[in-house]
Amino acid sequence: MRSISTTDLSVFPICLGTNVFGWTADKEASFAVLDAYVEGGGNFIDTADVYPYWATRESTSETIIGEWMAERGNRDSLVLATKVGMLKGLEGLAPATIRTAIENSLRRLRTDRVDLYWAHVDDRDTPLAETLGTFGELIEEGKVRYVGASNYGADRLAEALTVARAEGLPEYVALQQPYNLVERGYEGELREVVAREGLASTPYYSLARGFLTGKYAQGLTIDSPRAGQAAKYLATEHGPRTIEALAKVAAARDVEPASVALAWLAAQPTIAAPIASARNLEQLRPLLAAAGLTLTEDELSLLDTASRP
């Protein structure tokens, strides 16, 4: 287990992303994935009020997770995270928006609190003190335990922490941002802020929209909603090199490339738990395997070199 910053949140090394629940995974498939994740030792579940609104026009992921927790009676053994700020009609981080969103999320999730509540995207139109002040009220009321920043730039993340400390408001304890072997923009000023301020990172797009599973090889046609997005990495110089390096390490370790890609990410500075989603048990298996995979320095170096643009 790993800690989220200096909080008492102890989490499995791989966070289960649930943006596919109600979209490419129906309720039955979602329940199966959730059951297998927990049986495999997992306890960290990440959702959002906007998952997958783009497909269902409802906050289906939260609803499915809430029904599952109610049936299993396991809420207290989980670290549950959801987000506010991107759902249609509840965009932004104004106090009234946050208030409405948290009540809706708690109702769908059938719980009285969220362990980690993410500001889903920066809102420059709302003063940081107002957003953080509202989060503070929710923490005092017991509806939220900790708050995190998702999709914040380095300057705004640093500013939010400064404002919080100056005004005695809750500080963001974690950052969620894109990061994987073929998208390494995090390894700059943003990571420096996270490291300097003692935050933890739980990156998304950990498998580069499926590209790092190795299934999007040259010449192959894959039936997946993400195939078009993932295939763009093949057009780069470092994309195919990365897949080749992943395949080499995976073969030597007798695991799947996805497990290696997640293990590499989990080994990077500031990373607490990469987020990865699965729409069925077949996709979940390499995620669980990654949690127990520790790469050698030589393997990490090979992957680092191959994946640099």
| Residue 246 is assigned to a structural domain of this protein | no
DSSP of 194-247: HHHHT-EE--B-TTTTTGGGT---TT-----TTHHHHHGGGGSSHHHHHHHHHH
pLDDT of residue 26: 98
Judging by beta carbons within 10 Å of its beta carbon (0-12, 13-18, 19+), is residue 254 exposed, middle or buried? exposed
Split into its structural domains, the chain has a count of 1
pLDDT, tens digit only, all 309 positions of the chain? 999 999 999 999 999 999 999 999 999 999 999 999 999 999 999 999 999 999 999 999 999 999 999 999 999 999 999 999 999 999 999 999 999 999 999 999 999 999 999 999 999 999 999 999 999 999 999 999 999 999 999 999 999 999 999 999 999 999 999 999 999 999 999 999 999 999 999 999 999 999 999 887 655 555 555 566 777 898 899 999 999 999 999 999 999 999 999 999 999 999 999 999 999 999 999 999 999 999 999 999 999 999 998
Report the CATH number at residue 43: 3.20.20.100
Contact between residue 164 and residue 172 where contact means Cβ atoms under 8 Å apart: yes
pLDDT of residue 224: 56
CA distance 139 to 84: 15
- Secondary structure E strands in 61-143: 79-84, 86-87, 90-91, 114-119
Distance from first CA to last CA of the chain, Å, rounded? 32
pLDDT of residue 217: 64
Contact between residue 253 and residue 293 where contact means Cβ atoms under 8 Å apart: yes
| Residue 31 is assigned to a structural domain of this protein | yes
Positions marked active-site: 51
Full residue range of the structural domain in which residue 88 is found: 2-208+257-294
| Residue 69 is assigned to a structural domain of this protein | yes
| Residue 155 is assigned to a structural domain of this protein | yes
Return the half-sphere exposure (C-beta side, CA atoms, 13 A cut-off) of residue 92: 11
No. of helices (H) and no. of strands (E), the chain:
12, 12
Tokens 């040259």 belong to residue:
218
Contact between residue 194 and residue 172 where contact means Cβ atoms under 8 Å apart: no
How do strand 114-119 and strand 144-150 relate by DSSP bridges?
parallel
- Secondary structure E strands in the chain: 2-3, 10-11, 15-17, 44-46, 79-84, 86-87, 90-91, 114-119, 144-150, 174-176, 200-201, 275-277
Query: What pTM, to 2 d.p., does this model score?
Result: 0.95
pLDDT of residue 27: 98
Angle between helices 27-39 and 281-291 (to 10 degrees): 20
| Residue 135 is assigned to a structural domain of this protein | yes
| Residue 220 is assigned to a structural domain of this protein | no
Judging by beta carbons within 10 Å of its beta carbon (0-12, 13-18, 19+), is residue 178 exposed, middle or buried? middle
CB neighbour list of residue 22: distance below 8 Å, 6 or more residues apart: 30, 51, 52, 55, 56, 58, 60, 61, 63, 64
Angle between helices 60-72 and 27-39 (to 10 degrees): 60
| Residue 215 is assigned to a structural domain of this protein | no
CA distance 223 to 161: 43
Contact between residue 105 and residue 97 where contact means Cβ atoms under 8 Å apart: no
| Residue 126 is assigned to a structural domain of this protein | yes
pLDDT of residue 263: 98
